[in-house]
Amino acid sequence: MGQTEPSFEQIYDSTKQSVLRYIASKCINICDIQDIYQETYARVFEALSQGKQIKDAQAFAIGTAKHCLAHYYTAMQRLRARVSLSSRGSDDELDEISSGEDIELAVINKDLLDSIFSEICSQSADVQKMFYLHYFMDIPLDETAKILKMNENTVRQRLYRAVRLIRRKYTRRKEDD
């Protein structure tokens, strides 16, 4: 009997972490990670729908992510990403506030989060990736360093330096208010 082809769900479940790590380590702007991630799995799904035989799901998914990264970052997009790193999330979070919550506090918190996010986006691409991998994906520093092909002490120093800068800036801001 022949081997059955893996389903999209099986491929996704077995590759999602490594694909996300790969994309995060190669992207120019952390704001692009989710778009490229979604495009990658849309293409994987499309390939499966067209009957493509996938022997190595991991290699296929990473290869698709590599292709999506190259396609996403055309020369013009690379230029735009370097010039403007200020993309922010939407205001949908404020729409979800229940009537019992303090709206003013929610607006202040959203403003503070947006400011901190902008501060992170103003850092170098390496530091942005470090933040994403370590804090968003909860990857330990030693593994983050391996993903980024950097020395662990370098990653630790840059990340902690950026965190100290943000703490100083926003602690003062809070005290000044």
Exposed, middle or buried, 16 (CB in 10 Å: 0-12/13-18/19+)? middle
What per-residue confidence (pLDDT) applies to 113?
A: 75
Structure tokens belonging to residue 117: 């996010």
Residue 143: closest CA among 20, 12, 4, 54: 20
Q: What are phi and psi of 84, to 5 degrees?
A: -125, 105
Q: Which residues contact 36 (CB under 8 A, 6 or more apart)?
A: 23, 27, 65, 68, 69, 72
Q: 90-145: per-residue pLDDT in tens?
A: 444 444 444 444 555 556 667 777 788 888 888 888 898 998 888 888 889 999 99
SS3 3: coil
Of 7-21, 33-47, 130-144, 150-164, minimum mean pLDDT range: 130-144
pLDDT, tens only, 52-96: 988 899 999 999 999 998 888 774 565 565 544 434 444 444 444
